[in-house]
Amino acid sequence: MNAYTYCLWGFLIAFIGCGVMTALLIPRLRAMKMGQRILEIGPVWHAKKEGTPTMGGISFLAAALLAALLLSPFWVGEVGEGVIYPFLISLLFCVANGAIGIIDDMTKLRHHRNEGLTPTQKLVLQSTFAAAYLALLRLSGILTDELHLAFFGSLRLGFATYFVFMVLILGIVNCANLTDGIDGLASAVAAVMLAFYTLFSVHVGMPAPAMLAAISLGCALAFLFFNRHPAKIFMGDTGSLFLGASAVACAMLHGRHLLAIICGIVYVLEGVSVILQVVYYKATHKRLFLMAPIHHHFEKCGWSENKIVAVFSALTLLSCLLCWFLP
């Protein structure tokens, strides 16, 4: 089979696997009373979501690993270890971030609160996995000390380049986490990005990011069926950290690092809105937005959850189309 035929198989296995696992998870999580706690400071109409099963992102990890396990032995013969190695370490990096999410979600559920790991604990774990991922990419020859900037060529910053990569990875992963605040938003935005990465990777002849994106896309789309408004299950940090890691890992494999920022414009806006809210409030004791992250601002302005998902997904699509034509 053509190497990219495996991408289709990876997508289908992940899509079916994640769909079946999520359907099985919902009653199981309900029986175990593993429901989401809702912040009191959030929109009052979110109170009815209290108790919705969370940590559904477990199905992402299981389905992605299943697809890799079934396909990798055959795929090696088609594309060689030079492609399968960066794909596998990237997938494991995504799963590792999902594992951090599991710890975070379990901590929330165990203590019956909306906050799990402390920011420091989460950052230490994420930084450790990000550093290990960058080191493995460097050893495989995928990563250099060049920072690719569209229109401006590449910059050689020496060791400082890896610091920039760390900030990029941690930023995108955590901003993806912030995006998971209303039904279907994180799933839909990630699905658009991952569809772009899949098609663009095939277009430019890069099977490793194509396979990673295709598998992650299968998970996101299958989960969206259950996560769309009104959500029957939430992905939790387990799912959002996995999807954020998938998005940034695809950009790293491409060596086109700005893709993570431009395609992930919604992630960036979500993260920047939180920063601006905090800075503005400390300076003026007033709120810049009705609520941050910014999707809650629009929600409090009267936008429905479906409208926010549609607009943010459309913005992501436009940013991805721009990336298609970047040099």
Q: pLDDT digits over 227-264, tens only?
A: 999 999 999 999 999 999 999 999 999 888 888 999 99
Which residues lie below 8 Å from residue 262, measured CB to CB, with a gap of 6+? 150, 319, 322, 323, 326
Q: What is the pTM of this model?
A: 0.93
Instruction: Name the stretches of the chain with pLDDT < 50.
Output: none
pLDDT of residue 276: 97
Confirm if 250 and 94 have CB atoms less than 8 A apart.
no
Structural domains of the chain, count: 1
Q: How many Cβ atoms are within 10 Å of 157's Cβ, its own excluded?
A: 13
Q: Are 71 and 4 in contact (CB under 8 A)?
A: no
Instruction: Print the domain residue range for 166.
Output: 3-324
For residue 56, what pLDDT is reported?
A: 93
Tokens 């999902």 correspond to what residue?
98
148: left (phi over 0), alpha (psi -120 to 50) or beta: beta
Q: CA–CA distance from 162 to each of 18, 139, 249, 275, 319 (Å)?
A: 34, 13, 14, 24, 25
- Residue 199 carries which side chain, given as an amino acid letter? L
pLDDT at 39: 56
* 248 dihedral zone (left: phi>0; alpha: psi -120 to 50; beta): alpha
Place of tokens 């610091």: 163
Locate tokens 């050689």: which residue?
Answer: 156
pLDDT on residue 42: 55
Those residues with Cβ within 8 angstroms of residue 198's Cβ, 6 or more apart along the chain or in another chain: 7, 11, 210, 213, 214, 217
